[in-house]
A = this chain, B = another copy of it.
Amino acid sequence: MERITADLDEFRKTHALDTVIVIHLTSAEPACVPPREFHYLESFLALLEADRRDLFPASVLYALAAIESGCPYVNFTTCLGSAFPAMDELARKKGVPHMGRDGKTGETLMKTTLAPMFVARNLKVLSWEGYNMLGNRDGQVLDQPDANRAKTQDKDHCLREILQDDAAHSRVRIDYVPSLGDWKTAWDFIHFQGFLGTRMSLQFTWQGCDSALASPLVLDLIRFAEFAHRSNESGVMTHLGCFFKAPFMVPEHGFFRQNEVLLAYAAAHRKAGVGVRA
C-alpha cells in the first residue's frame, strides 16, 4: 500500500501534475466474492489493519491507494478494484469519483446491443452461445480456469440480466489461439423462438483488434474522470455504465439505455456551460 501510494506521489511530482487519474489495466484476476466486511468502510479498514492479505486482491490495494491519494480511479478489467460499497463510501468521503468494471469492447458490446432487440420484439431467446478466441497476453492469462471463470461470468451476467429468462441457455467460452495475436474473433450463435413457436437463428462473427477497441474507451474514461473530478463529483460515475461489462451500481445492462444516460449527463453539463476537455 505504502509503495503504491509513494509511486503515485512520485509520478505526480515528476510530471508536475495537478491530477493523476488511475486506470486499472492488468490482466484478469481470479473471480472473487468480496467478504461481508467489504460492505462497510469501518469493517473493511479493520480487515486491512489486521493485515488479512489473503482477503485483498492486488486490484483492491491499487484502488485503495488511488482513492486514499485523492486520485480518480477507473477499473477497466475483470478484477474487483473499487466495486464494493466500502470503497465507494471512502471515495465519497475523499471526494473522489470512481468507476468500473471490465471494459465493454467487443462481444459483450454486441450482446448488450442485440439482446434488448430480442426482448423488445418478444423473440424468446432459447440459447445464446458465445465463443471467443484471442491470442494476446490477455488470452494467455484467460487460459487459466480461474481467471477464465471470472471473465465469462461478467460476459454472461449482463446477457442474463437483459433477457430476464431463467430458461434461456447461455454459455461463454474464451479460448487462447496464439496465432491470432491481438485480434479477437468471437462467434455467437443465438437460437430464438418467434410466433407459433417457430425456431430461428442469428449468428455473428466479430473480428476486432483488442487494443484498437480498448484504447479510445480508456482515453474517454480518463477525460470523463478528470471532468467529474473538476466538477466536484464524487463516488460512482454511474453515467459511464455503457463503457463496462459489469458497471458498478448500474442495474441497466442494455447498451442503448446506458448510452442515453451518458448523453443526458453530457447535455445537462453542456447546458450548465461546462464541457469535457477534448
Contacts and interface: CB of A to CB of B under 8 A. Distances in A.
Interface string A184-214: 0101010100111011111111111101110
Contact of A203 (B109, B180, B205, B256): B205
Interface in A16-48: none
B200 A209 contact: yes
Interface string A41-62: 0000000000000000000000
A191 B212 contact: no
A114 interface: yes
Interface string A105-129: 0000110011011001110001101
Contact of A200 (B121, B131, B191, B212): B212
Given A127-B177, A131-B187, A195-B216, A205 B205 contact: yes
A179 interface: yes
Tallying the copies of this chain within the complex gives 4
A269 interface: no
B202 A205 contact: yes
Chain A interface main SS type: mixed
Contacts of A178: 127, 169
A73 interface: no
A196 to B, nearest CB: 6
A194 B207 contact: no
A120 B243 CA distance: 11
A223 interface: no
Contacts of A121: 109
A114 B113 CA distance: 7
A233 interface: no
A68 interface: no
A78 B212 CA distance: 39
A127 B180 contact: yes
B208 A200 contact: yes
B209 A194 contact: yes
A133 interface: yes
Contact of A207 (B113, B195, B196, B200): B200
Nearest to A179: B126
Interface string A164-183: 00000101010101111000
Interface of A: 109-110, 113-114, 116-117, 120-122, 126-127, 129, 131, 133, 169, 171, 173, 175, 177-180, 185, 187, 189, 191, 194-196, 198-209, 211-213, 215-216, 242, 254-257, 259-260
13 contacts: A109-B117, A110-B117, A113-B114, A117-B255, A120-B259, A127-B133, A127-B179, A129-B175, A131-B173, A194-B212, A195-B213, A196-B212, A200-B213
